[in-house]
Chains A and B, each alone.
Chain A
Amino acid sequence: MSFPEELKYTEDHEWVLIEDDVVTIGITDFAQEQLGDIVFVELPEVGDSLETGKSFGVVESVKAVSDVYAPVSGEVVEINEELPDDPEVLNNSPYDDGWMIKLKLADSASLDELMDVSAYQEFVEKD
């Protein structure tokens, strides 16, 4: 399992890439591995505003349904339109082609809550 150093992580197994006031969000390698074969993805619409901790989408494997939670608040500025047609990309490339949404940050303070890679690795080992 790999966890890129440049990303931040949440306890719900999402990753966050911060670029100025826009963040890209996806699910981690651990999350996709736990879910197994992903067969369905539901994303919000561009323009939706998301609130920290609220579900913004759904990822389904053959066996299970999982909500995906907004790690930070903001407005959806872009969604990965390829994903609903090609959900297995989440298994094959969780950090690159499998990105889910881009958010324009409402408030940069909430970024402080996120884990860095070593904290997340420790969290996964305990989980």
Chain B
Amino acid sequence: MKITPLNKIHRQLGARMVDFGGWDMPVQYSGVIAEHLAVRTAAGLFDVSHMGEIEVSGAQAFDFLQYATTNDVSMLVDGQVQYTALCYESGGVVDDLTLYRFAADRYLLCVNASNTDKDFAWLQDLQKSYQFNDLSMINRSENYAQLALQGPVADEILAKLTPVNLAAIKFYRFVQGKVAGIDMIISRTGYTGESGFELYCAAADGAKLWQELMDVGRPLGLEPIGLGARDTLRLEKAYALYGHEITADIMPIEARLAWITKLKKGDFIGRDAMVRAKEAGLSRKLIALTLTASGVPRDGYPVFCAGKEVGYVTSGTMSPSLKKGIALALVETTAADSDQLLQIGIRKRQIPAERTKLPFV
């Protein structure tokens, strides 16, 4: 199994470790609910070193990325981050990712851990097929450790360790600077819906960065956070997770990601299929549901409307903030847009579920 540079620290902290797509990762330290609430009320530190980083540079880097990704790379300026996706010709999703622009000819893609090799191979194929020759693409995943510092006091904690003016880093912007004397990328991004940062440094410096952050952060309520709470935190904000809301068989425009799918920017991989699907009318869409009786919706559970199965839950949990069952579900458009009541099938019962405006929290 693959390990991150912080594996020893997780074990010292008594984390429960799980196999997460081939990575030995902490699923929880003190408990999912306590960790979740710590991030909402104070701050949490996540080891996300398993995430992949792919560097794309060269004179054709912009043209290549504009063709390979769904969002409009021309909107980016130096020091800006963009949430985007790679699609197949079918319009299904290869992966979702954040795209960092360092210069007009130099970018970094941060991709899902378990998709890194697939993404890199896909990009190499595209490069060859479409002859983007003036381009260098390097899988940097093993070079980086990545920590996410998230929560209302994240700024206060990070300010104790860096001379960088954090207030000047706006949402989805990044700078290169020192934290605890270590060179890194400081990015105001995250997957929790709280304010905070994602920090990229050399793999060898990852453990020191974690320790320094924990030391100054503990008195302010900073807690280590595992993958369990990472999932409940993102789900309360309805952020998509690859393999759930988006897969090779789900188009981003079906999954509430039309905002990162710029059909008018010019040609890109997956565009034709999505334009055709849109013209024909999308047959299904992702909606948010809150159970009005007790129960925990989980991925794969069926969704019913007037006694008929109309879709399924893509992600579900008991929301630690709301103490209610919440779910994202991919359902037939006609049922989604009707005002008929919906139910989620949990074991032998159908539990009523209310359409909910996003985010849940």
Cβ contact within 8 Å between A62 and B32 = yes
Distance of A40 Cα from B27 Cα, bound (Å)? 20
Kindly list chain B residues whose C-beta atoms are within 8 Å of the C-beta of A39.
33, 296, 318
Q: Which residues on B sit within 8 Å (CB–CB) of A40?
A: 294-296, 318
Chain B 19-35 interface 0/1 with A at a Cβ cutoff of 8 Å (1 = within): 00000000110011110
Q: How far apart are the CA atoms of A77 and B271 in the complex, in Å?
A: 63
A70 to B333, CA, bound (A): 43
A84 touches B294 (CB 8 A): yes
Within 8 Å by CB of A37, from B31, B294, B295, B347, lies B31
Complex Cα distance, B33 from A65, in Å, reads: 16
Q: Is A47 an interface residue (CB 8 A)?
A: no
Interface string of A26-40 (1 = CB under 8 A from B): 000000000011011
Contact status A62-B320, CB under 8 Å: yes
Contact call B347/A63, Cβ cutoff below 8 A: no
**Category for how many chain A residues contact B:** 10 to 19
**B10 CB contacts on chain A under 8 angstroms:** none
Docked pose: A73 CA to B16 CA in angstroms: 35
Query: For B82, what are the chain A residues with a Cβ–Cβ distance below 8 Å?
Result: none
State the CA gap A61–B27 with chains docked (Å). Answer: 13
- The answer to whether A63 touches B228 (Cβ under 8 A) is yes
Q: Are A36 and B296 in contact (CB under 8 A)?
A: no
A37 touching B33, Cβ below 8 Å: yes
Distance in angstroms from B235 CB to nearest chain A CB is: 11
A42 to B67, CA, bound (A): 51
A63–B27 CB distance below 8 A: yes
Residues of chain B within 8 A of A46, CB atoms compared: none
A116 at the interface (CB under 8 A from B): no
B320 proximity list for chain A (CB < 8 A): 62
Cβ-based interface call for A58 (8 A): yes
A60 in the interface (beta carbon within 8 A): yes
Contact present for B32 and A58 (CB under 8 Å) = no
In whole angstroms, how far apart are the Cα atoms of A36 and B33 in the complex? 9
Residues of B within 8 A of A62 (CB): 32-33, 228, 232, 317-318, 320
Count the A-B residue pairs with Cβ separation under 8 angstroms: how many?
33
Q: Is B285 an interface residue (CB 8 A)?
A: no
B50 interfacial contact with A, CB 8 Å: no
Q: Closest B residue to A60 by CB, please name it.
A: B296
Could you mark each residue 73-86 of chain A with 1 if its beta carbon is under 8 Å from any beta carbon of chain B, else 0? 00000000000100
User: Would B32 and A37 count as touching, CB distance under 8 A?
Assistant: yes
Q: Is B298 at the interface (CB under 8 A from chain A)?
A: yes
Q: Are A36 and B228 in contact, CB atoms less than 8 angstroms apart?
A: yes
Specify which chain A residues have a CB less than 8 angstroms from the CB of B31 in the assembled complex: 36-37
* Distance A9 CA – B78 CA, assembled complex (angstroms): 63
- Determine the chain A residues whose CB is within 8 A of the CB of B294 once the complex forms: 40, 84
Given the known interface contacts A62-B317, A62-B320, the answer about A36 and B347 at a Cβ–Cβ threshold of 8 Å is: no
Q: Do A36 and B318 have beta carbons less than 8 Å apart?
A: no
With A and B bound together, what is the CA distance between A79 and B298 in angstroms?
A: 26
Residues of B within 8 A of A65 (CB): 296, 298
A61–B92 alpha-carbon span in the complex (Å): 32
Query: How many Å from the CB of B320 to the closest CB on chain A?
Result: 7
Please, what's the 1-or-0 string for B201-232, where 1 marks a CB less than 8 Å from any CB in chain A? 00000000000000000000000000010001
CB distance from A64 to the nearest CB of B (A): 9
Q: Mark B337-360, 1 if CB is under 8 A from A, else 0.
A: 000000000010000000000000
Shortest beta-carbon distance from A73 to chain B in Å:
22
How many angstroms from the CA of A84 to the CA of B110 in the assembled complex?
42
- Chain B residues whose C-beta falls within 8 Å of the C-beta of A36 in the assembled complex: 16, 28, 31-32, 228
Interface string of A90-111 (1 = CB under 8 A from B): 0000000000000000000000
Interface residues of B in 299-328 (CB under 8 A from A): 317-318, 320
Interface residues, chain A, with chain B CB atoms under 8 Å away: 36-37, 39-40, 58, 60-63, 65, 84
A-B contact pairs, 7 of them (CB 8 A): A36-B228, A37-B33, A37-B34, A40-B295, A60-B318, A62-B318, A62-B320
Which 7 A-B pairs rank lowest in CB-CB distance, beginning with the nearest? A39-B318, A62-B32, A37-B33, A60-B296, A40-B296, A37-B31, A37-B32
Q: Given A39-B296, A62-B228, 4 more contacts at CB 8 Å?
A: A36-B16, A40-B318, A60-B318, A65-B298
